[in-house]
Amino acid sequence: MDNRQDIKNIKEQLEEVKNNNQNSLENLDAINLIIVDNNNGRVKDLVVSAQMAKLRDKLREMSAAITETEEILKDK
């Protein structure tokens, strides 16, 4: 891609995606705190906890893909 303005816009949008992904990870952390019983440290709902773990894995995959894309765009 040769258009510098397009590359700049892509980088800006990718930064927004990166920030949103980070916010999503933080929200999952908050959910995980809610899922754990404060009295004895046990998980209140194993099914929900497992689903949150899946979501976390997907968000981490997305973080890695964002980093790869940033590397590709770095020299453009």
What are the sequence ranges of the domains in the chain?
4-74
Q: Is the pTM of this model over 0.95?
A: no
Q: Tell me the CA distances in angstroms from 34 to 15, 46, 57, 59, one per residue in order.
A: 29, 13, 19, 19
Alpha carbon of residue 69 to chain centroid:
14
Q: How confident is the model at residue 76 (pLDDT cuts 50, 70, 90)?
A: confident
DSSP state at residue 75: T
Average pLDDT in the 63-76 region?
94
**How do residues 5-64 score in pLDDT, each as one tens digit?**
999 999 999 999 999 999 999 999 999 989 988 777 888 989 999 999 999 999 999 999
